[in-house]
């Protein structure tokens, strides 16, 4: 499976990224000392979602979540559903 950072994808602002991270801390009840990484990836292979956001919670062990939307399209509802998937 190949991914690349999407040049044509929507660029999220630093405010949007900060808001999403705050939602993640809140919805997943993560200690604010734990880092969170957001990566927006574009897949070019057939059957793969065109854009997905990968969320890595740098706990021990690292927890990884995927949302099939660009960072700029993510809403609180998307984040709150992550908790249900665990």
Per-residue pLDDT tens over the stretch 58-69: 999 999 999 999
Name which residue leads in pLDDT, 47 or 1: 47
Is the predicted pLDDT of residue 16 greater than 80, yes or no?
A: yes
pTM confidence score: 0.80
Q: Phi and psi (nearest 5°) for 23?
A: -60, -40
Q: Phi and psi (nearest 5°) for 57?
A: -100, 115
Strands 3-4 and 63-67: unpaired
pLDDT score recorded for residue 10: 59
Is the predicted pLDDT of residue 4 greater than 80, yes or no?
A: no
Please identify which residue in the block is written with the tokens 């009840």.
29
Which whole-number Å values give the CA distances from 16 to 46, 54, 76, in the listed order? Answer: 29, 15, 11
Residues 6+ apart with CB under 8 A from 73: 10
């Amino acid at each position: 499976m190949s991914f690349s950072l999407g040049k044509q994808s929507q660029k999220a602002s630093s405010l949007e990224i900060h808001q999403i991270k705050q939602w993640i801390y809140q919805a997943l009840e993560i200690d604010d000392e734990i880092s969170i990484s957001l990566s927006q990836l574009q897949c070019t292979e057939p059957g793969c979602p065109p854009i997905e956001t990968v969320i890595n919670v740098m706990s021990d062990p690292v927890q990884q979540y995927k949302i099939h939307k660009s960072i700029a399209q993510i809403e609180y509802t998307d984040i709150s559903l992550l908790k249900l998937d665990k």
